[in-house]
Chain A
Amino acid sequence: MGELHAEARSSGLVPLAGTVPPGFVRVGGVGVPVWPDGASPSLLEEYQIAGAPVERAGETRRVLACCLRMCWADLDAEPWPGVVAAVDDVLACYRTMVGRTDDSVRSWAVGALRRLHDTGWIVLVGDGTLRLGPRCVLWTADGHAQLRELMRRIAAPAGETTPVVASRDEGAEEFGDLLGAFDERRRAELVAAFVAVETAAEPVHEARFAALRDPALRRALMEMLARRGRVLLQRADSWISGYTDAYRATSLPEAERAVLALVLVHTVAIPRAEGLLGEDTWLSPHPVATEELRRRTLLPIGELEAALRALRQAGLIAQQKTSEEGAGGYVPGPQFHRLTRAARARLQEELILAAGPQTPLAVAIRDRRRRHEPAGTEETERARG
């Protein structure tokens, strides 16, 4: 069960057949993890905590509003599943909204549509139509009210409406036994802390969340996370969640892994070797310029650019603007807050093994891995780290 949740988190959405597991809602054959007690990451805003960064947020959300305007035909009902809309109608709606008709507006909007499709907010069908994606079921009733209000303000071309026929099945309650032991207030605090550590961009300070301060509540929180294949990680007085070390998968395609490794060498390994990094962390204040990456690598430029875009969208790298202190470029992104200590140590070892396989250090690392896993294959050795 925890594995399925971890898989949904690392690969986006998971296909689901048969009984819907707890903590999921099945939306047209696809499993979407849901938040306990009808919560949503909207609560980050109440706590003034930044969520994961969104690529070109304003534009993407405006385009999503236009999709919603065209697909949400019956405002008395919930937005999902809605109706099928023509992509051209959505684009027309967007042009009216921003009051511009030039080609760049169109290409930006198409880019936003693709990002929304990739992240499950809409589904682009090949025939020039689209419908709302499975993630739209995560909006709460309050959210629906806000969006309904917004829909009335957006002008839209009239089009034919074909209702989307899709089923929606809720899984069993996931944390009922755990949360049931607490009164209303504590229960809400637990859920808030759960959503916060799972969705915030950076570790959240315990001063803001009773469930992080109080050891008993924290224990329950850890249990909730464990059921989703997650662990609670502490960074001084702040907390964030990460994958449990037992869950091993290779979640990135080869080209993205290669580019990410390249960014890590330039932003962490080299500054570290030159004695510029103080803290023992995989985050770095030393950006690598895109130009530098482009010039000094064997990877083809097109592949490099596409991988950089994908990594940026996932928060694995972050773009740093040129400032007075130095040139802009890429640094490791907020996801590196979520690596466990073992994962970070393993990452260091893998980099050393790759860059200096003949060095005594690499020999020592291989020796130690063999010692810890005398009869093990390479695979089980990796699983231990």
Chain B
Amino acid sequence: MSEGCPTVGRVLPETLDSALSDEAVLVTYRRMFAALARDSGAVIDDPALVDIAETLFAAFAEAGEEWLTHEQMRHACRAHPVELFENRLRVLRGLGAIREVFPKPNQLRYRASFTSVVGLMFIRRMMDDGGQSEMHRLLELEDLTVAGPRTTMEQARRSADMLARAFRLWALELVTLTTGTIEELREQAPKLWGTEEIARRAQSLHTTILTRWPDLDRVCTDLRSAIYAYSDASRRAAGRLADSAGTTRNLTLLPAETWRTFAQTASRERLADVLEGFVFDAAAPWHDPGAIVRAVDEAPRPAPVRPAPPRSSLPDEGASSSLAAGPPGRFAEVAEALLGERDAVALEEVLTGDWSTIRRVLADLASADLHPEAPYRLAWSDTLTADPAGRPSWLSHGRLERTDG
């Protein structure tokens, strides 16, 4: 029924995962309405189509007795492409899920069918747990019904027959899964297998029927064996999963909601029991001597006062006295030694020896000349003697003179 559905024109899903989950959703839709479908193409092939219906029903609920116009419906579904919306609306109207408020020509306002909304709620629940909770409710209802004083034996027989068939089909599906791949089993089994609660309810229903109508003995035997087969298939599926669990993977087999409820409602004893028999290390931190030294060195210090810039420890009398000092140092001695008693001396006489000596003497004399306080001057003439073989190889003529100071 589900194979061969037209998929042409569908937007390609972005990932393989989303394709898979879309496909899972569709499988449920197809299965649910297979009994009613006219042909295999009649069931929707895109989960988004159900979203449109849901959006529409929500809009109708909000609109109340104002109902909705075509434009308002379109506005509510503005997130979906217009062709999809129109297509959906046509189908929903065709099946009577959305109808004109009054059956008159040119009717502009529409209302939604209560039955369809309930149907959709049912579909969503089936999606969540594959029908487990529906089975719970069904069993409860059947239990009440067969206990009712007006129920006939024929009704009870039909009820038992139906349940036996449902359990058999459920069991078969589980058995097929159990022999398939472990991934598929992990994914599908929790939706299919019965909790002990379901088995217990079914047993109780069976007992009620058998006690009231002992003649239904054969039907009840059927029902009983179907329940056992189902319980057995559930156990086998769970057993295979338990054996291949890894060390955390099976946690996924309980719904997140179950875990949350457990965390919120479990007593201290129940929580603590989980780790009964597990041994862990006591706190035994190692304080390495190196780490202790580092910790002390990195101790937070009180915020330091902003340090003043460093100062010389020698007394400082200020800038004014520095120029008052007499001609300092070495170049005065050099100049005096060269001048002797004279007031002036030609540089040719004093610049003798090798170049490094000449250079040193000249530097001292230049310093003496530049020092404003010193009583020495270098007076240069405009002439220059070049002597390529001599040393220095060129000489500008000048004199060192003593001034009056």
Q: Check B296–A119 contact: CB distance below 8 A.
A: no
Residue B181 is within 8 A (CB to CB) of chain A in the complex: no
A178 to chain B, nearest CB (A): 23
CA distance A368 to B251 in the complex (A): 17
Total number of residue pairs linking A and B with CB closer than 8 Å:
279
Q: Beyond A61-B287, A296-B264, A345-B245, is A351–B270 a contact (Cβ under 8 Å)?
A: no
Contacts of A368 in B (CB 8 A): 239, 242-243
B51 to chain A, nearest CB (A): 22
Q: Chain B CB within 10 Å — which of A61, A118, A363 has the most?
A: A61
Of A58, A282, A314, the residue contacting B248 (CB under 8 A) is A282
Q: Beyond A360-B195, A360-B235, is A250–B277 a contact (Cβ under 8 Å)?
A: yes
Q: Check B271–A257 contact: CB distance below 8 A.
A: yes
Residue A16 is within 8 A (CB to CB) of chain B in the complex: no
Q: Check B194–A360 contact: CB distance below 8 A.
A: yes
CB-nearest residue of chain B to A42: B288
Q: Check A250–B278 contact: CB distance below 8 A.
A: yes
Of A53, A299, A361, A367, the residue contacting B250 (CB under 8 A) is A361
Residue B196 is within 8 A (CB to CB) of chain A in the complex: yes
CB-nearest residue of chain A to B193: A360
Residue B302 is within 8 A (CB to CB) of chain A in the complex: yes
CA distance A258 to B275 in the complex (A): 8
Residue B279 is within 8 A (CB to CB) of chain A in the complex: yes
Q: Check B259–A269 contact: CB distance below 8 A.
A: yes
**Which residues of chain B in 252-301 are interfacial with respect to chain A, using CB atoms and an 8 Å cutoff?**
252-256, 258-260, 262-296, 298-301
Q: Check A10–B263 contact: CB distance below 8 A.
A: no
CA distance A295 to B238 in the complex (A): 34
CA distance A68 to B295 in the complex (A): 14
CB-nearest residue of chain B to A280: B246
Contacts of B269 in A (CB 8 A): 254, 258
CA distance A363 to B253 in the complex (A): 13
CB-nearest residue of chain B to A369: B242
Q: Check B274–A10 contact: CB distance below 8 A.
A: no
Q: Check A268–B251 contact: CB distance below 8 A.
A: yes
A352 to chain B, nearest CB (A): 6
Of A9, A52, A262, A364, the residue contacting B286 (CB under 8 A) is A52
CA distance A120 to B287 in the complex (A): 11
Contacts of B234 in A (CB 8 A): 360
CA distance A95 to B61 in the complex (A): 70
Residue interface bits A65-83, CB-to-B below 8 A is 1, else 0? 1001000000000000000
Residue A4 is within 8 A (CB to CB) of chain B in the complex: no
B250 to chain A, nearest CB (A): 6
Q: Chain B CB within 10 Å — which of A147, A199, A264, A367 has the most?
A: A264
Residue interface bits A243-269, CB-to-B below 8 A is 1, else 0? 100011111101101111110111011
CA distance A142 to B288 in the complex (A): 11
Residue interface bits A44-59, CB-to-B below 8 A is 1, else 0? 0100000111110111
Number of chain B interface residues as a range: 35 or more
Residue B175 is within 8 A (CB to CB) of chain A in the complex: no
Q: Check B278–A347 contact: CB distance below 8 A.
A: yes
Q: Beyond A60-B287, A265-B263, A361-B253, is A65–B194 a contact (Cβ under 8 Å)?
A: no
Q: Chain A CB within 10 Å — which of B263, B279, B293 has the most?
A: B279
CA distance A119 to B281 in the complex (A): 12
Q: Beyond A299-B268, A361-B238, A364-B235, is A98–B301 a contact (Cβ under 8 Å)?
A: yes
B129 to chain A, nearest CB (A): 12
Contacts of A313 in B (CB 8 A): 283, 285
Contacts of B282 in A (CB 8 A): 9-12, 251, 314
CA distance A250 to B275 in the complex (A): 8
CA distance A97 to B298 in the complex (A): 10
Q: Check B258–A356 contact: CB distance below 8 A.
A: yes
B237 to chain A, nearest CB (A): 7
CB-nearest residue of chain A to B237: A360
A245 to chain B, nearest CB (A): 10
CA distance A64 to B299 in the complex (A): 13
Contacts of B259 in A (CB 8 A): 265, 269-270, 273, 355
Q: Beyond A139-B289, A268-B248, A367-B239, is A100–B302 a contact (Cβ under 8 Å)?
A: yes
B149 to chain A, nearest CB (A): 33
Contacts of A347 in B (CB 8 A): 247, 274-275, 278
Contacts of B248 in A (CB 8 A): 268, 272, 277, 280-282, 344, 348
CA distance A244 to B221 in the complex (A): 51
CA distance A299 to B292 in the complex (A): 38
Contacts of B270 in A (CB 8 A): 354
Contacts of B265 in A (CB 8 A): 298
Q: Check B290–A42 contact: CB distance below 8 A.
A: yes
Q: Check A150–B262 contact: CB distance below 8 A.
A: no
Q: Beyond A273-B255, A296-B260, is A354–B295 a contact (Cβ under 8 Å)?
A: no
Residue B241 is within 8 A (CB to CB) of chain A in the complex: yes
B54 to chain A, nearest CB (A): 23
B246 to chain A, nearest CB (A): 4
Q: Check B238–A348 contact: CB distance below 8 A.
A: no
Q: Check B245–A356 contact: CB distance below 8 A.
A: no
Residue A99 is within 8 A (CB to CB) of chain B in the complex: yes
Q: Check B250–A119 contact: CB distance below 8 A.
A: no
CB-nearest residue of chain B to A334: B281
Q: Check A361–B271 contact: CB distance below 8 A.
A: no
Of A249, A270, A348, the residue contacting B279 (CB under 8 A) is A249
Q: Check B301–A296 contact: CB distance below 8 A.
A: no
Q: Check A280–B247 contact: CB distance below 8 A.
A: yes
CB-nearest residue of chain B to A356: B254
A25 to chain B, nearest CB (A): 15
Q: Check B268–A298 contact: CB distance below 8 A.
A: yes
Residue A6 is within 8 A (CB to CB) of chain B in the complex: yes
Contacts of B235 in A (CB 8 A): 360, 363-364, 367
Contacts of A62 in B (CB 8 A): 292, 295-296, 299
**Which residues of chain B in 36-74 are interfacial with respect to chain A, using CB atoms and an 8 Å cutoff?**
none
Residue B349 is within 8 A (CB to CB) of chain A in the complex: no
Contacts of B243 in A (CB 8 A): 368
Which of the 9-residue segments A156-164, A214-222, A335-343 touches chain B? A335-343
Q: Beyond A97-B299, A257-B275, A365-B242, is A64–B287 a contact (Cβ under 8 Å)?
A: yes
Contacts of B391 in A (CB 8 A): none
Binding site for B on A (CB under 8 A): 6, 9-12, 40-42, 45, 51-55, 57-62, 64-65, 68, 97-100, 118-121, 135, 139, 142-144, 146-147, 149-150, 153-154, 199, 243, 247-252, 254-255, 257-262, 264-266, 268-270, 272-275, 277, 280-282, 296-299, 303, 310, 313-316, 335, 338, 341, 343-352, 354-356, 358-361, 363-365, 367-368, 382
Binding site for A on B (CB under 8 A): 193-197, 234-235, 237-239, 241-243, 245-256, 258-260, 262-296, 298-302
Q: List 17 A-B contacts (CB under 8 A).
A: A52-B284, A58-B299, A59-B295, A61-B294, A62-B295, A250-B278, A250-B279, A270-B260, A273-B258, A314-B281, A315-B283, A347-B278, A349-B242, A350-B274, A355-B266, A359-B254, A364-B239
